[in-house]
């Protein structure tokens, strides 16, 4: 079984309806799909691969193996010979690029390529959200507007550059523990050849097959809430590999911390009070993130419950 692969360029031609249906199916039945011909220039993608690998080698790799927490903790565990696994840490090197944080500086061309890439992938995420608006039957621009809290360009757009270094004991630690994503839409530029990402589909872990220069799309908890459960966020994880380094660059289009998230009114039938209690909550995304930070690797339902309780005095839950 493999996740759907969708030719995004067909959205503009005769096959628009079919492509929209494929995207709807990807969102509803899978929560994950891959886009090919997505419009991000291949030469830019090639530069992004080059500068991120270079940056990892020059500025990160040494430190990972000499000083990082997962390396130290794994070594301690091996010395103990207890047969335990490392449950609370991931075998990854990761840093975040946003509009207002510090970026790695030493790798020539890194900043230029990543600024360009982030602009392209942000454009793609906005196009994609419009296809979701249309498929859900909500007004064009609804998701973007909700995530921006009604203001222009207020959403959070972050790019997480990850490397999963070779691991001497893949049975003792995960590359990235299973989770659903907190935010909106995630656009992942994964390694051309080294696999490792898996999603949980009908109770089974299946590989997200690498396709060079494709972009893997998945939706987070906020799209689940906004779509009133039509587009469910899906569990995924990364397995550590023994002999290879895997690169992945995940860009997140997330709500701003002060955006209010709730199911779109068009998607909510008039509910009885009891049902309202068990439906999706209404909350500030910042409040959700306070819960998520503590509970990222746990099921999402208790997170929705916790943020409902935390928000009860801000919003009347029955209105």
Ligand X SMILES: O=C(O)CCC(=O)C(=O)O
The entry of Fe ion, ligand X, none near residue 45 (CB within 5 to 8 angstroms by kind) is none
137: left (phi over 0), alpha (psi -120 to 50) or beta: left
Tracing tokens 């070594």 back to the chain, one arrives at 75
Nearer to ligand X, 144 or 247 (CB): 247
Q: CB under 5 to 8 A by kind: which of ligand X, Fe ion, none does 176 bind?
A: ligand X
Q: Which residues bind ligand X (CB under 6 A)?
A: 160, 162, 176, 181, 188, 190, 197, 236, 238, 248, 250
Determine the Cα–Cα distance for residues 19 and 153; give it in Å rounded to an integer.
28
Task: Output 220 or 279, the one with its CB closest to Fe ion.
Answer: 220
Closest approach of ligand X to the CB of residue 238, in Å: 5
Question: Considering the complex, what minimum distance in angstroms separates the CB of residue 136 from Fe ion?
Answer: 22
Instruction: Identify which of 218, 198, 196 has the alpha carbon closest to the alpha carbon of residue 91.
Output: 196
For the bound state, the minimum distance from the C-beta of residue 265 to ligand X, rounded and expressed in Å, comes to 29
Which of Fe ion, ligand X, none has residue 197 at its interface (CB below 5 to 8 Å by kind)? ligand X
Residue 242 CB contacts under 8 Å (≥ 6 apart), including other chains: 166, 167, 168, 170
Q: Which is nearer to ligand X, 34 or 228 (CB)?
A: 34
Which distant-in-sequence residues (6+ apart) come within 8 Å of 45 by Cβ? 117, 189, 213
Element (H, E) at 312: none
Whether 236 contacts 197, CB under 8 Å: yes
Cβ pair 285, 257 in contact under 8 A? yes
* Binding at 191: pick from Fe ion, ligand X, none (beta carbon under 5-8 Å per type): none
251 binds, among ligand X, Fe ion, none (CB under 5 to 8 A by kind): none
Stretch that binds Fe ion, among 99-107, 139-147, 161-169, 173-181 (CB under 5 A): 173-181
Closest CA to 185 of 5, 22, 27, 7: 27
Both tokens assigned to 121? 């992938």
Pick what 48 binds: ligand X, Fe ion, none; C-beta below 5 to 8 Å, kind-dependent.
none
- Binding-site size, Fe ion (CB under 5 A): 1
Closest to ligand X by CB, 124 vs 238, is 238
- Kindly state whether residue 120 participates in binding Fe ion, applying the rule CB under 5 A: no
CA distance 246 to 10: 30
Q: Which residues pair with 135 in a beta bridge?
A: none
| Residue 288, token pair as written in the block | 């959700």
Task: Considering the complex, state which of residue 173 and residue 250 has its C-beta at the smaller distance from ligand X.
Answer: 250
- Of the candidates 92, 120, 181, 287, which one interacts with Fe ion according to CB under 5 A? 181
* Residue (49 or 282) nearer to ligand X, CB: 49
Which residues bind to Fe ion, rule: CB under 5 A?
181
């Amino acid at each position: 079984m493999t996740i759907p692969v969708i030719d995004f360029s067909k959205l503009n031609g005769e096959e628009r309806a079919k492509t929209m249906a494929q995207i709807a199916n990807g969102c509803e039945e899978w929560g994950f799909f891959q886009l090919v011909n997505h419009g991000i220039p291949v030469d830019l993608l090639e530069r992004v691969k080059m500068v991120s690998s270079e940056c990892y080698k020059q500025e990160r790799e040494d430190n990972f193996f000499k000083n990082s927490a997962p390396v130290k903790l794994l070594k301690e565990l091996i010395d103990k010979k207890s047969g335990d696994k490392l449950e609370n840490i991931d075998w990854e090197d990761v840093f975040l690029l946003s509009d207002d944080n510090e970026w790695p500086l030493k790798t020539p061309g890194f900043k230029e390529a990543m600024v360009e890439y982030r602009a392209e992938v942000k454009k793609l995420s906005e196009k994609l959200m419009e296809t979701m608006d249309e498929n859900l039957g909500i007004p064009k621009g609804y998701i973007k507007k909700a995530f921006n809290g009604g203001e222009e360009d207020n959403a959070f757009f972050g790019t997480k550059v990850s490397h999963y270094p070779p691991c001497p004991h893949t049975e003792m630690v995960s590359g990235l523990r299973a989770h659903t994503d907190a935010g909106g839409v995630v656009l992942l530029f994964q390694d051309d050849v080294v696999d490792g990402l898996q999603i949980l589909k009908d109770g089974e872990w299946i590989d997200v097959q690498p396709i060079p220069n494709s972009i893997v799309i998945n939706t987070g908890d906020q799209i689940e809430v906004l779509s009133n459960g039509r587009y469910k966020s899906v569990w995924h994880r990364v397995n550590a590999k023994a002999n290879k380094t895997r690169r992945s660059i995940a860009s997140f289009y997330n709500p701003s911390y002060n955006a209010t998230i709730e199911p779109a009114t068009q998607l909510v039938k008039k509910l009885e009070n009891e049902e309202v209690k068990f439906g999706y909550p209404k909350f500030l995304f910042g409040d959700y993130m306070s819960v998520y930070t503590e509970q990222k690797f746990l099921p999402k339902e208790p997170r929705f419950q916790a943020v409902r309780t935390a928000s009860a005095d801000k919003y009347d839950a029955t209105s």
